[in-house]
Structure 1
Amino acid sequence: MSETNLPENRTLTLERTFGAPLELVWEAWTQPEHIAQWWGPKGMETTVLEHDFTVGGQWKYLMKMPNGSEFVADGVYSEIVERQKIVSTANFKPMTENVEIHAIFEAVGTQTKFTFHCVHETEEYCKQQEEMGFYNGWGSLFELLADFVQNQ
């Protein structure tokens, strides 16, 4: 079998342990009123336009930059395992399109181990996204999530 375009070769991964219980981190990720508080790059205001948290359900978030420009992130949920895993398609136009994101949650005492995978269509696209700042972008988003769950 060819090793070209295997999922592991086109996936970028971030891991983090949040100093908050699994229940709280799960709710922050899945409840629209919480998502609006932390989702998006620092300094952006997020409005949840759609959030049907079911398999086959769609999500759509509007992010407004301080300069007034806006962009939309959207996707469709393909797998939800309560308090364990969320898989969704995702588009963050115009920067990123047609990726699949996997959010994996695991209780570790009173903390939550969180693993985030972003699967791209091709290895080339994956490398391009990494060079465009994937780790900084998503890392800063998860900093906002960490701050949010710490202050709940």
Structure 2
Amino acid sequence: MNKSNLDNRTITIQRTFDAPLALVWKAWTQAEHIAQWWSPKGIITKVVEHNFTVGGKWKYIMPMPNGQEFIAEGEYLEIEEHKRIVSLANFKPMTEGVEIQAFFKANGDKTDFTFNVVHPTEAYKIQQEKMGIMNGWGSVFDRLDALLKNQINNT
């Protein structure tokens, strides 16, 4: 992906999850966990493909209330265990041709998390912001946070 004007093309979300790094990593890398959080509230995610290796493909389908399907798919570019996951991604029909970057860092018994969505152009990034990308990912990460808390409480 073109590295020029990277800051102008990137949307960043940062969170601290009240869960240990190993648990957050597991939630991000295992299909049975992804199916429980990778969608807005009230939507069920069906993991169609999940080949968690560099060059591996992933595809998740979410049926929307209007009957259409929202398809998230991509290819893993970089995986550094417990540190980062970088992937090409399409979120059809709304977002295509982006790179998503997830960075994980242990912070005691918590996990600092940074998520970047790198767009091909600054104009595309601005369009995505206007469409509510921050709220969309925010609600997904709220579900991830709830899943992590539930798993901690049930151990």
Q: Distance in 2 between matches of 1:67 and 1:123?
A: 31
After superposition, the CA RMSD in angstroms is: 1.2
Indicate the residue corresponding to 2:12 in structure 1: 13
Question: Secondary structure at the residue paired with 1:139?
Answer: helix
Contact 1:14/1:117 (CA < 8 Å) preserved in 2? yes
Distance 2:150 2:65 in 1: 24
8 Å CA contact 1:120, 1:126 repeated in 2: yes
Cα displacement (A) at 1:71: 2.0
Moved more, 77-86 or 65-74: 65-74
Contiguous gaps of at least 5 residues in structure 2? none
Question: What amino acid maps onto 1:143 in structure 2?
Answer: D
For normalisation by structure 1, the TM-score amounts to 0.95
Q: TM-score, normalised by structure 2?
A: 0.93
Give SS of 1:78's match.
strand
Distance 1:39 1:124 in 2: 26
Q: CA deviation at 1:67?
A: 4.0
| Over 4 Å off, 4+ runs | none
Shift of 1:94: 0.9
1:1-150 aligned within 5 A: 5-150=4-149
Whichever residue aligns with residue 15 of structure 1, its letter is Q
Query: Structure 1 CA distance, aligned partners of 2:6 and 2:22?
Result: 30
Structure 1: tracts of 5 or more residues without a match? none
- What is the number of equivalent residue pairs in this alignment? 149
Would you say the 8 A contact 1:43–1:66 is kept in 2? no
Taking every aligned residue pair, what percent have the same amino acid on both sides? 63
Structure 1, residues 59-117: CA drift from partner, whole Å, max 9, x if none?
A: 00010123433121100000000010000011001100000000000000000000000
